[in-house]
Structure 1
Amino acid sequence: MRTNSFTLLRQMVESGMGIGIVFGRFLQVRRESIAFVELRDLPFASPPVACCRMAGRTPTVSSEAFAAAIKTIFHNYGG
């Protein structure tokens, strides 16, 4: 799903429907039940990129596989 609404993205992640990948930084003015994990050392120039997920959860095998696939895509994109 694609959205330009940070509110919708937060609601979807908070309800456990998946993760979000965002460019830029969120201002966290309230304590949230989601965590923002900044992706560092990307092979291309970009604003900060972060993955947001539910806070306090141990990553599942499938989420680890997804993270590895995203890293591979970013590395392939960057050359």
Structure 2
Amino acid sequence: MHKPELVVKNLRYYARYIVVCLLLNKMDLVKDLVKDLSDEIEDYTHRFNTEDQLEWNLVLQEVAAFIEVRPFGSVLG
């Protein structure tokens, strides 16, 4: 991906997918996706010298906080 807009679209996809996996209690997948998202954010901010790195890091922090306080078992059940 050579355009920052396409990379941001990909980052948003990762974030949405992580939320779905959290709701489905797919914690192993969530951990992999968070690692991938973190790597993608780092690559994005270095390649395009963006100013929104803090916002994307906040997304990662919020996911981590949700994982920490999330009770065992499914949210829906």
Normalised by the length of structure 2, the TM-score is 0.37
Task: Name the structure with the higher strand share.
Answer: 1
User: More relative contact order in 1 or in 2 (CA 8 Å, sep 6+)?
Assistant: 2
Normalised by the length of structure 1, the TM-score is 0.37
